[in-house]
Amino acid sequence: MKPPSKPRSKPPRRRVDTPLVSRTAGRFHFLCSVIPPSLVGITLAGCAGGAQPGEPLERSGDEICAAGRLFHTGTRVVLWLDPGGYDAYRPHRWFQPGLAGPAEAPDRIARYDSVRKRLPEDLAERVRHRGWTLEDLQRVVRQVVVHFDACGTSRRCFEVLHDVRGLSCHFLLDLDGTIYQTLDLKERAWHAAQANEGSVGIEIANIGAHSDPAPLAAWYGADEEGVRVTLPREMGDGGLPPGFVARPRRPDPIRGRVQGKDLVQYDFTEEQYRALEKLLVALCRVFPEIKARVPRDRHGGLLRQAFGSEEDLQRFQGLVAHWHVTREKVDPGPAFDWARVLEALQRAGVPED
């Protein structure tokens, strides 16, 4: 039973499209509006100029970055700029900083592209000479590609992407719901082949889906409260908060068919779903071309195989699985709850068309 609600003032409204804004500067403007003019010059010299040189710009810790502008999500986000963040801009390996190129491509320096391909000529010319504006980026980004990372934790995922394979993804979503943004969304991350041009990528920590359930035994066990994730000993704490116990949202393994294969997988955590819903709402509001829909088959059900043609893939606007991009992939697997995610977007007023 909920305790009786207490009267409280209405919380301040926060716009999702808020750019880089200093709260401290806002306080200066407020003081300038209420202090008598005769005292302004005495108490707040230079107030009319807003924020003062060297004054720190405060953040809430829930922001994502697109074309250099920050947008609230309502959930914890660690940027590549932050302590503990994962920086896909770095040319050297993250976990072996004395080495440069990734293990599988030692001559490769960058793990991303600054210019997206297949742009209209006028836009391509503008981006080449002036860089990305948010308005230009909004013309291009129309999809979110959802992956499982097959690594189990975001720390291991970044190690494999950055240090081993020489790839990248805009977001990593860890077991505890922490979102790591590794690149500005203006960059063309290398996460989904031909879908990279118009998409944002999200790698969700999960060991993946398998034809044989045996690999799951190394990652899942049980305690008095039910099924839990059990990290292999060599991974230590996996970069997760002390004491955090990750549990699949549904305790039983989920079986399903993807790309014509029968697969089994444990569900993602409740913390991941909650964070993902908020991130997707923010992305759909920042990029209006991303719609609240998923690819459907001719019967109206979720399409469980790759698009029939690249043209169909490029035209689609909404959420796609990695398996929709290529027949070689099955992520995010049969356990991913598409209906829940779509319902969250629809409740937030994200249009389907």
- 121: tokens are 């000529």
- 28: tokens are 């200066």
Residue 178 has pLDDT above 70, yes or no: yes
Vertex 291, ends 21 and 343: CA angle to 5°?
95
- 21: tokens are 């804004």
pLDDT tens-place string over residues 264-317: 999 999 999 999 999 999 999 999 999 999 999 999 999 999 999 999 999 999
Bridge partners, residue 204, by sequence: 148, 173
pLDDT score for 117: 82
pLDDT tens-place string over residues 19-73: 443 344 444 333 334 444 443 343 444 445 688 999 998 899 999 999 999 999 9
| 289 exposure class (CB count in 10 Å sphere: 0-12, 13-18, 19+) | middle
Beta strands in 13-159 (DSSP E): 63-66, 69-72, 77-79, 112-113, 143-148
φ and ψ at residue 157, rounded to 5 degrees: -60, -45
Beta strands in the chain (DSSP E): 63-66, 69-72, 77-79, 112-113, 143-148, 171-173, 179-181, 188-189, 199-204, 220-223, 226-229, 254-258, 261-265, 318-321
What is the third-level CATH fold of 63-210+246-347?
Lysozyme-like (3.40.80)
Higher local confidence (pLDDT), 23 or 219: 219
Q: What's the pLDDT band for 200 if we cut at 50, 70, 90?
A: very high
Residue type, 115: V
Peptide bond into 332 cis (omega under 30): yes
**CB of 152 closer than 8 Å to CB of 219:** yes
**CB of 44 closer than 8 Å to CB of 33:** no
φ and ψ at residue 326, rounded to 5 degrees: -145, 145
pLDDT score for 42: 39
CB atoms within 10 A of CB 154: 27
| 129 exposure class (CB count in 10 Å sphere: 0-12, 13-18, 19+) | exposed
Q: What's the pLDDT band for 228 if we cut at 50, 70, 90?
A: very high
Bridge partners, residue 172, by sequence: 180, 203
Residue 347 has pLDDT above 80, yes or no: yes
The candidate with the shortest Cα–Cα distance to 92, out of 104, 108, 79, is 108
| 117 exposure class (CB count in 10 Å sphere: 0-12, 13-18, 19+) | exposed
Q: What percent of the chain has pLDDT over 90?
A: 79
pLDDT score for 189: 97
The candidate with the shortest Cα–Cα distance to 332, out of 143, 153, 205, 147, is 147
Between CA 27 and CA 54 the distance in angstroms is: 16
pLDDT tens-place string over residues 94-153: 999 988 899 999 988 899 998 888 888 899 999 999 999 999 999 999 999 999 999 999
